[in-house]
Chains A and B, each alone.
Chain A
Amino acid sequence: MRFINNQSPDKIAEVIEAGTTQFTAQCYELYELPPLGSLVKTGDIYGIVANATTAGLEPGRKPIARGRDEASEEAVYRSSPQLTKLLRSEFTAVVVGYKDGENLRQYLPPNPARIHAFVYLCPPGEVREFSQTFGFLNILANAALPAPTDELIAAALRRMSPAHEDSRAFLVSAGKELAALLSSQYDQLKSILGRLTS
């Protein structure tokens, strides 16, 4: 674990591709991906993790199978320590808002993130603050996403709920917001709600 300074939480990744509606970041550690639906932040911009991949460094070349003679999966990595350098984990986040001075905006920022900008996983306090309002649900519902919308919305809400003292109440209000948003798409609403209860 490396610390930039005492105030910041751990940075987990770095922006390698940035657009108005989403950005892609490469994780510093292989497999240390933020979970699907996590709220992340880079600069002033907030994103929700919408997709993740782990692949070889060189585009177009796939790794080859190496475990035939190994006893366990860990052993594969142990016998070829260079592997962790040849593979990388990346994720894409959908931009859901930004901080405009003191104000939290749940709509698209004027400019995209910068390449090499650090990406952080938002701590619970910030998640709570961000999810006081539900404007981001509208962005998610309408974004062109790499993962199915229903899955992503449900994942985001599930991840946010523990940050709230009364997580059920949080899910109920979010559900109501969705009911309004998807007032004429009952099937979709039903599918999301079904993924919120456990």
Chain B
Amino acid sequence: MNQENRLGIVTEASLDKGVEVRLDIPVSVEDMVVGRYVTIEGQKRRFFGMITDVSLGVTDPRLTVTPPDVADPFIAEVLTGTSTFGTIHVSPQLTIGGDAGSLLEGPQPVKTIPGHFSAVNLASERDMELVFGKEDPQRFNIGNPLDMELKLCLNLEEFVKRSNGIFGKSGTGKTFLTRILLIGMLQKSQAVNLIFDMHNEYGWAGTSESGPPVKALKQLFQSKVAVFTLDEENSRRRGVSTDFVVKIGYDEIEPEDIVLLRQTLNLTEPAVEAVYQLRRRLGKSWLQNSLDIEGTEDTRSLLDELSIHESTFQNLKRGLATIRRLPFIEPHAPVDAVKRILDHLDRGISVVLEFGRYRDITAYVLVANMLARRIYAQYQERTEKAMAEGTAPPNPLVITIEEAHKFLNPEVASQTIFGTIAREMRKYNVSLLVIDQRPSGIDSEVMSQMGTKITCLLDNERDIDSVLAGVSGKSELKSVLARLAPKQQALIFGHAVPMPVAFQPVAYDTKFYASLTSPGRSGVEQVEKDIEELWE
């Protein structure tokens, strides 16, 4: 083994509590950082584990009572690593057997512990590559493990098989990370994306706190991405050439969409119930008709008949009026947005829907829910048909939503389309990518269904708990999570990765653009163009 990487030896271990490692003399505790990977050379197998704690030890408690004269360099040198020493706590994640057969099998879950005094080394780049794999047609480099040069590769074909979540406080890098993952999916998976882009960051260009705007999906992948907008004027002003302007008709809004908006629109419970009754009674144009109802005899008898109280009705009317005032809502939309979106998705083109100026949560929740519900219904129908007839199912679809707790909080998760998708584990070829800064607001069942979670720094205890709920080694990962840098560091764990790992997402810059090769433009051309831009 490489002596340079040697850290120490195992002194204690249990499956339950993990492994204690006493550091060798030349190894400084200050070089040990939580989240790094080590390998433990057991007799029959190698273990991969994450450093989850670092501590100091003394052999005799009297040392701490009457500390030695460490001003004397001789005394200090003698005591370091002997009477006083560093230890790290390692949480084993995987093992690889030593014989040829188990090498082929690859990494396995940990079912035992390494023996006493097994040597512990920093995991080398080769070790990590063995576990995470190299960049290949399915694997995309999303960054590098903390303190390592190595490329950390994520299998995106695996990733998109389940719904996934990206979490972190505001400003930690969620949006940038999401953009990186979306690019990965465009390059390395069969999935198409539908992105509800609340802050206009994914379509053409995104803002950066630390410099000029960055390129977003369509600039990098002209032929694979279409930008739709709800706010044509705003998009034009930002210099974005859009592919379609989305309008929503009153008649496309269903009671289910209103349920989600109960809180934002300040609706009472009875008002929400009334919506269902009115829909049943008035049919597809219920919203228009309800708003048109005036205080006439006829209407009063209608409301009496449905036993809707006058104050309830007024409450509802105020809420519906808020919806009607949204500029992209029209009595009847000339072109069906859902059909347009599906047309693109079917051709393998991902769709980013920009919200322009309409960033308030009412607009976002209403539109995302409404469109997703109808697209999902189409996917369901087509997938079932494909199964029955043995034809190809529609392209796997990943729907990206922000502020996910608005759609997936415990109060509404059971009733919304997003709750259904999250729970169904891509039954109908649709999965979610949810982005949220307040994961504790998301229904715990939905959280538990998420395949892979990537989380940047969180500091609220409840948020941390909800993200790590049900993960083995939770308390240890917690200490890793709580110590991530406030920006551009993340912890990934779950379905698509063999073991949890803290990493630094790739820097989203011209060098990154250059590393992408998109069809239509040759790699060389792109590099040249990007280098040119460097000097602009």
| A residues whose Cβ falls under 8 Å from a Cβ of B | 168, 171-172, 175-176, 178-180, 183-187, 189-190, 193, 196-197
Which residue on B lies nearest to A174, using beta carbons? B78
Q: If the complex has contacts A179-B82, A179-B83, are A186 and B62 also in contact, measured as CB distance less than 8 A?
A: yes
* B83 CB contact (under 8 Å) in A172, A183, A196: A183
Report B59 CB to chain A, min CB distance, Å.
Answer: 4
**Cβ contacts B75-89/A at 8 Å (1 or 0 each):** 101110111000000
A175 to B80, CA, bound (A): 11
A190 to B60, CA, bound (A): 12
Indicate if the CB atoms of B72 and A179 lie closer than 8 Å. Answer: no
Indicate if the CB atoms of A187 and B74 lie closer than 8 Å. Answer: no
A183 to B68, CA, bound (A): 14
Q: If the complex has contacts A179-B82, A186-B60, are A197 and B72 also in contact, measured as CB distance less than 8 A?
A: yes
| Residues of chain B within 8 A of A196, CB atoms compared | 74
| Residues of chain B within 8 A of A184, CB atoms compared | 59-60
- A179-B79, A197-B74 are known contacts; what are 18 more A-B pairs with Cβ within 8 Å? A171-B74, A172-B77, A172-B78, A175-B77, A176-B82, A180-B82, A183-B60, A183-B82, A184-B59, A186-B59, A186-B62, A186-B63, A187-B62, A189-B83, A190-B68, A193-B68, A193-B78, A197-B75
* A179 CB contact (under 8 Å) in B62, B74, B78: B78
Answer yes or no: B25 CB below 8 A from chain A CBs: yes
Question: Which residues 311-367 of B have a CB within 8 angstroms of A?
Answer: none
A-B contact pairs, 29 of them (CB 8 A): A168-B74, A171-B74, A172-B74, A172-B77, A172-B78, A175-B74, A175-B82, A176-B25, A176-B81, A178-B78, A179-B59, A179-B78, A179-B79, A179-B82, A179-B83, A183-B59, A183-B60, A183-B83, A184-B59, A185-B60, A186-B59, A186-B60, A186-B62, A189-B83, A193-B68, A193-B75, A196-B74, A197-B74, A197-B75
A168 to B81, CA, bound (A): 17
Q: Tell me which of B62, B75, B83 has the highest count of chain A C-beta atoms within 10 A of its own C-beta.
A: B83
A183 to B72, CA, bound (A): 20
Q: Chain B contact residues (Cβ within 8 angstroms of A): what range?
A: 10 to 19
Report B190 CB to chain A, min CB distance, Å.
Answer: 60
A179 to B59, CA, bound (A): 9
Q: Tell me which of A171, A185, A197 has the highest count of chain B C-beta atoms within 10 A of its own C-beta.
A: A197
Q: Tell me which of A178, A179, A185 has the highest count of chain B C-beta atoms within 10 A of its own C-beta.
A: A179
Report A172 CB to chain B, min CB distance, Å.
Answer: 5
Report B136 CB to chain A, min CB distance, Å.
Answer: 48
| Residues of chain A within 8 A of B77, CB atoms compared | 172, 175
| Residues of chain B within 8 A of A185, CB atoms compared | 60
Which residue on B lies nearest to A168, using beta carbons? B74
Which residue on B lies nearest to A171, using beta carbons? B74
Indicate if the CB atoms of A176 and B60 lie closer than 8 Å. Answer: no
Report B326 CB to chain A, min CB distance, Å.
Answer: 74
Report A169 CB to chain B, min CB distance, Å.
Answer: 10
A40 to B60, CA, bound (A): 35
A53 to B211, CA, bound (A): 85
| Residues of chain A within 8 A of B83, CB atoms compared | 179, 183, 186, 189
| Residues of chain B within 8 A of A190, CB atoms compared | 68
A168 to B73, CA, bound (A): 11
The 10 A-B residue pairs whose C-beta atoms are closest, nearest first, are A175-B78, A179-B82, A183-B59, A186-B60, A186-B62, A179-B83, A176-B82, A197-B74, A172-B77, A184-B60
A59 to B335, CA, bound (A): 125
A190 to B72, CA, bound (A): 12
| Residues of chain B within 8 A of A187, CB atoms compared | 62
A183 to B62, CA, bound (A): 11
A185 to B83, CA, bound (A): 10
| Residues of chain B within 8 A of A176, CB atoms compared | 25, 78, 81-82
Report B85 CB to chain A, min CB distance, Å.
Answer: 10
Report B79 CB to chain A, min CB distance, Å.
Answer: 6
| Residues of chain A within 8 A of B59, CB atoms compared | 179, 183-184, 186
Report B61 CB to chain A, min CB distance, Å.
Answer: 9
| Residues of chain A within 8 A of B63, CB atoms compared | 186
Which residue on B lies nearest to A175, using beta carbons? B78
A111 to B72, CA, bound (A): 43
A163 to B524, CA, bound (A): 67
Question: Which residues 49-98 of B have a CB within 8 angstroms of A?
Answer: 59-60, 62-63, 68, 72, 74-75, 77-79, 81-83
A176 to B84, CA, bound (A): 11
Report B62 CB to chain A, min CB distance, Å.
Answer: 5
| Residues of chain A within 8 A of B75, CB atoms compared | 193, 197
A180 to B75, CA, bound (A): 14
**Cβ contacts B110-147/A at 8 Å (1 or 0 each):** 00000000000000000000000000000000000000
A168 to B60, CA, bound (A): 25
| Residues of chain B within 8 A of A189, CB atoms compared | 83
Report A150 CB to chain B, min CB distance, Å.
Answer: 15
Q: Tell me which of B62, B68, B75, B78 has the highest count of chain A C-beta atoms within 10 A of its own C-beta.
A: B78
Report A23 CB to chain B, min CB distance, Å.
Answer: 32
Report B84 CB to chain A, min CB distance, Å.
Answer: 9
Question: Which residues 21-66 of B have a CB within 8 angstroms of A?
Answer: 25, 59-60, 62-63
Report A117 CB to chain B, min CB distance, Å.
Answer: 37
Report B180 CB to chain A, min CB distance, Å.
Answer: 48
| Residues of chain A within 8 A of B81, CB atoms compared | 176
A196 to B83, CA, bound (A): 17
| Residues of chain A within 8 A of B79, CB atoms compared | 179
A175 to B63, CA, bound (A): 16
**Cβ contacts B276-292/A at 8 Å (1 or 0 each):** 00000000000000000
Report A198 CB to chain B, min CB distance, Å.
Answer: 10
Report B112 CB to chain A, min CB distance, Å.
Answer: 29
A171 to B72, CA, bound (A): 14
Report B9 CB to chain A, min CB distance, Å.
Answer: 14
Report A76 CB to chain B, min CB distance, Å.
Answer: 43
Q: Tell me which of B62, B63, B77, B82 has the highest count of chain A C-beta atoms within 10 A of its own C-beta.
A: B82
